């Protein structure tokens, strides 16, 4: 007999794994650049093979195909080692070679203008919006010149231009929305809506660098909810999730709005980054946070103020140790975490 519950769980885990792999792919911009360049090369190669071209046009299309293929290989091999500015070079070169291919194909009454859409999608996905719009405007100008000076199979060049770049604008909007969703899924805890561990680590490094330059104080506060496991064990995980959401909302109301940063960094563990706060200010924040917890809920707090020398890892470790000492004092047992 088929166990539908197990099947449902298996399908859910498979979909989660697929979603995770998709997110991982899109976070590697060089992989996406390589995939789009390879797609362009395959599209051009297909056009070359399916039509009898004049020698000059064949040469132009072959060069464009070769450049796209080489770019895909370079991006794949060098991966993230290439600096960010090279993405602008890729987009500009992609539009230029797309224009060359479009011009050559137009003389043979073949439309390749959809190549612009591949480049536009990538630009809006990985470049700043202003940069992507600049590249799109230049590509639009190149295509307008082609439509004006090169014989085109369509009777209305205006409609041809609008159909391509209207679609490019829509794709750009989709790409911007996709970027927002991916960033949110990568940096936001889905249960509480707080920043997750990844964003916490990034923000901590940024604030530490800022403190090094300015000489300002910086404190880290670690919060561990007491006896949270017993809530899950006795009342179920849904009750535990509701409690975590309630605690997150309470802590959010208690932190200062002038730069303090709250994140959920573990199952029942939260952290606050307090720029400009030395030890006395950090103690005051801890007292305020402790006083805002939901009724009947307690937590162990630990904090550390930056000593102007230690790394982010060392600073968090000191705050962790202070929290564990607080927990031992309050619970009365002497076990020490590994």
Give the catalytic positions in this structure.
268
Q: What sign results for the dihedral spanned by CA atoms 145, 149, 153, 157?
A: positive
Among candidates 257, 337, 273, 258, which has minimal Cα distance to 305? 273
* DSSP assignment letter at 275: E
Residues sharing a CB contact under 8 Å with residue 106, sequence separation 6 or more, in sequence order: 112, 146, 150, 151, 152, 153
Give backbone dihedrals phi and psi of 226, rounded to 5 degrees, phi first: -75, 140
d(CA 62, CA 41): 9
Among candidates 337, 261, 271, which has minimal Cα distance to 303? 271
Among candidates 301, 303, 261, 263, which has minimal Cα distance to 282? 303
Give backbone dihedrals phi and psi of 309, rounded to 5 degrees, phi first: -130, -45
């Amino acid at each position: 007999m088929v166990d539908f519950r197990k099947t449902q769980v298996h399908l859910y885990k498979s979909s989660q794994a697929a979603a995770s792999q998709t997110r991982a792919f899109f976070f590697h911009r060089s992989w996406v650049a390589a995939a789009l360049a390879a797609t362009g090369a395959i599209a051009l190669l297909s056009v070359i093979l399916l039509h009898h071209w004049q020698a000059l046009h064949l040469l132009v299309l072959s060069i464009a195909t070769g450049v796209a293929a080489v770019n895909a290989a370079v991006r794949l091999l060098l991966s993230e080692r290439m600096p960010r500015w090279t993405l602008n070079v890729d987009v500009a070169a992609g539009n230029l070679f797309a224009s060359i291919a479009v011009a050559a194909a137009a003389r043979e009454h073949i439309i390749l203008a959809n190549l612009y859409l591949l480049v536009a999608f990538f630009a809006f996905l990985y470049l700043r919006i202003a940069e992507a719009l600049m590249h799109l405007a230049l590509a639009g100008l190149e295509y307008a010149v082609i439509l004006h000076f090169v014989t085109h199979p369509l009777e209305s060049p205006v409609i041809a231009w609008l159909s391509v770049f209207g679609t490019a604008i829509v794709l750009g909007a989709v790409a911007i929305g996709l970027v927002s969703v991916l960033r949110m899924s990568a940096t936001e805890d889905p249960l509480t809506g707080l920043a997750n561990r990844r964003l916490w680590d990034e923000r901590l490094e940024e604030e530490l660098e800022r403190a090094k330059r300015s000489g300002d104080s910086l404190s880290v506060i670690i919060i561990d909810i007491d006896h949270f496991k017993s809530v899950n064990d006795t009342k179920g995980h849904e009750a535990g999730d509701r409690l975590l959401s309630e605690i997150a909302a309470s802590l959010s109301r208690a932190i200062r709005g002038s730069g303090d940063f709250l994140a959920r960094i573990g199952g029942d563990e939260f952290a606050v980054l307090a720029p400009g706060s030395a030890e006395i200010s950090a103690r005051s924040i801890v007292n305020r946070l402790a006083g805002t917890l939901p009724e009947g809920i307690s937590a162990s707090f630990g904090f550390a103020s930056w000593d102007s020398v230690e790394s982010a890892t060392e600073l968090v470790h000191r705050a962790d140790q202070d929290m564990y000492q607080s927990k031992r004092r309050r619970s009365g047992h002497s076990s020490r975490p590994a």
